[in-house]
Structure 1
Amino acid sequence: MIPVKDLLFFALAAFGLVISPGPNMIYLISRSITQGRKAGLISLIGVICGFLFHIVMVSAGLTAVLFAVPVAYSILKTLGVFYLLYLAIQAVKPGSKGIFEMRSDLKEDRSVKLFSMGFFTNVLNPKVAVFYLSFFPQFIKPEYGSVLLQSLQLGLTQISVSFTVNAIIVLSAARTAVWFAQNPAWIKIQKWFMAGILAGLALKMAFSKSK
């Protein structure tokens, strides 16, 4: 089993991922604002099932190749650092959008379509795959036991963080969007806060010890 302190750091990285604007966030907020909380929650269930798909695929791949190729860890670590820095820059670059500056002109859809769109939006989201491939190896060690079980443990941790944060966002999307519209200065604060978390995670990862 992975130590609690490592899981907490991984959970913070997962939090950085979930608060960075991307296809999942855009879809969930747009649905919640346009079609209501129920539609947002159904879409979120689809997104979570998409995470399960990524976890199974990545866990199987890491089990097969991670420790067979020693240099893979260093490569993936470097990719993880640059990926976090990329997200941080994207958050504060000129013209970037805050997570509640989303379009709200989507037509209403049935529950099955909401679920399937949430699922495929996540399955086809490269940000999720890159996160798993670049972050999982940093927390998986042979001495902790099965690589597959460790991958699943990390995956379930990430899903828990993602579900909790996204559920809060879905339930408060409409009200929060109005608040940000009335207080635009806070959008810039939100962007820099998010960028600070991502950049801090990148630096910690860059100076962490290799296995």
Structure 2
Amino acid sequence: MIEGSQWLVFVGASLALVAIPGPAVLFIVARSLSGGVGVGLRTAAGIGLGNLCHAIAAAFGVSALIISTSWGLDLARYAGAAYLIYLGIRSFVQSGPREGASAERESSERLEGSFRKGILVALLNPKVILFLVAFLPQFVNHEAGNVPRQLLVLGVSFVAIGYLGDSAWALLSGVLTSKLRRGSVSGFWVRLPAVIYILLGLLTASSKLVR
């Protein structure tokens, strides 16, 4: 089992990494900009669950198997990029003015679908696979045995820390959005999420994965 001091070192390193905003944070911010705090928090929860699946896969060797294939990571990368671009185009289409019941229905659908979208974005992010496989083993005590269990504890800890950080970003951006939308820049904030989605999709598709 992992010693307490070793786990604290891992937590410190994880906090430092989580403090640096990445693509997942940008996605959460974009969701918060388009739908508010509730949408952002549900998106963060979905990303957390998706990352938890990655952590479990890393602990039991599934991620290493995916990395060893010549097509596994590329498939996830292009699928994730296509999904983000699709969300961007859809967001642009839906950014126009809506009336009464139509606007309420769209808002409800956005809230309900946020958790699912977060899961898909996390699962289709190959960089999470590469990161966990490279990062977690550095804190494993091989002399203590049961390496998969240690990796699982480390992975779950990292996901929990990441979820707290993502939730903080969702809260911050959601509250900020509610204030900014009261001004004359509301049209800009409505369309900004679509731009973020498409840019993230293009960056994902063009990024090179170092195995």
- The interval holding the TM-score normalised by the smaller chain is 0.5 to 0.7
TM superposition shift of 1:160: 1.8
Shift in Å, 1:5? 2.2
Q: Are residues 121 and 144 of structure 1, via their aligned partners in 2, closer, same or farther at CA, if it must alter by over 3 Å?
A: same
- Aligned residue in 2 for 1:50: 50
Paired residue type of 1:39: V
Cα contact 1:23–1:125 (8 A) shared by 2 = no
Distance of 1:23 and 1:172 partners within structure 2: 17
Q: How far has the Cα of 1:135 moved from its partner?
A: 1.1
Tell me the TM-score normalised to structure 2 length: 0.58
Pairwise CA distance, 1:153 = 0.6
State the alpha-carbon separation in 1 of the partners of residues 26 and 64 from structure 2. Answer: 34
After TM superposition, the structure 1 stretch with the greater mean CA deviation from structure 2, 126-135 or 104-113, is 104-113
CA deviation profile, 1:174-202 (whole Å, cap 9, x unmatched): 456889xxxxxxxxxxxxxxxxxxxxxxx
Aligned CA RMSD, in angstroms, stands at: 2.9
Q: Deviations over 1:44-90 (max 9, x none)?
A: 1110110111012111118999xxxxxxxxxxxxxxxxxxxxxxxxx
- Tell me which amino acid in the other structure corresponds to 2:29: I
* Offset, 1:38: 0.6
Give the 5 Å matches for 1:5-20.
5-20=5-20
Aligned to 2:185: none
Residue 77 of structure 1 corresponds to none
Between stretches 156-165 and 2-11, larger displacement belongs to: 2-11
Write out per-residue CA displacement over residues 104-159 of structure 1, whole angstroms, 9 at most, x where no aligned residue. Answer: 97855434421121011111222321221111111112222311110111012102
Conservation of the 8 A alpha-carbon contact between 1:140 and 1:150? yes
Structure 2 spans left out of the alignment, 5+ residues? 66-90, 96-106, 181-211
The answer for the alignment partner of 2:121 in structure 1 is 121
SS at match of 1:2: coil
* Structure 1 residues not aligned, in runs of 5+: 66-103, 180-211
The corresponding residue for 1:167 is 167
Bigger share in helix: 2
Following the alignment from structure 1 to structure 2, what is the Cα–Cα distance between the partners of residues 125 and 8? 27
Match runs of 1:181-192 below 5 Å: none
CA contact (8 A) 1:23 1:122 kept: no
Contact 1:60 1:148 in 2 (8 A): yes
TM-score, normalization: structure 1? 0.58
Provide closer, same or farther for how the CA distance between residues 17 and 64 of structure 1 changes in structure 2, counting only shifts above 3 A.
Answer: closer
1:50-199 map, 5 Å = 50-61=50-61, 109-175=109-175
Give me the whole-angstrom Cα distance separating, in 2, the residues matched to 1:30 and 1:170: 9
**Any idea what SS the aligned residue of 2:20 has?**
coil
**Does the Cα contact within 8 Å between 1:63 and 1:147 map onto a contact in 2?**
no
Q: Secondary structure at the match of 1:42?
A: helix
The aligned counterpart of 1:34 is 34
Larger Rg: 2
Contact in 2 for aligned 1:63/1:148 (Cα 8 Å): no
Change in 2 beyond 3 A, CA 1:176/1:2: farther
